[in-house]
Amino acid sequence: MIIAEILQKKGSTVTSVARTASITQAVALLAEHKIGALVVRDQTEGAAGIFTERDVVRVLDALGAAALSQPVSSAMTPDPITCTRTDKVSDVLATMSRLHFRHMPVLENGAVVGVVSIRDLVLERLERVETEAEAIRAYVAGG
């Protein structure tokens, strides 16, 4: 299975924020959309960075409430690791697990066309395993 199939199921909506937006504005977007990460954009269609729930916790711990007025660029992860629509789900899942992050922008021709979360990928894998287990049970029962 490839990433394009995940995006086809979940949709390819990308919620983004400008690098100059305040952390307060970014937190409001996370809450409004009930998501865990925002793509940080600059003048291009690519991903200048990614801003996640973990970034919020980290910056609040370091700076306290004063962090909320800081620009997103001060707390984002710059130049995030990305994948493409043709990457295998298993490869993307392995990268996310190995490097301990939960959200990955999907690029096509340098433009962000979606974001996948580790939850999206794990759910897909679980569905596939369950489907395969059912097929094996049906085969054994029929044989």
Q: For the whole model, what pTM was predicted?
A: 0.86
The answer to whether 51 and 17 have CB atoms below 8 angstroms apart is: yes
Tens of pLDDT, residues 42-75: 777 778 999 999 999 999 999 999 999 999 999 9
Q: What pairing do the DSSP bridges indicate for beta strands 49-52 and 83-84?
A: unpaired
Residue 143 pLDDT level (bands cut at 50, 70, 90):
low
Distance CA 1, CA 89 (A): 6
Q: Quick check: 142 pLDDT over 70?
A: yes
Selection from 90, 115, 92 nearest residue 11 by Cα: 115
Tokens matching residue 36 = 């865990």
Distance CA 5, CA 29 (A): 26
pLDDT value, residue 3 = 97
Residue 138 pLDDT level (bands cut at 50, 70, 90):
confident
Distance CA 57, CA 101 (A): 14
Q: Give the domain 3-142 fold.
A: CBS-domain (3.10.580)
pLDDT value, residue 19 = 93
**Displacement of CA 44 from its chain's centroid (Å):** 19
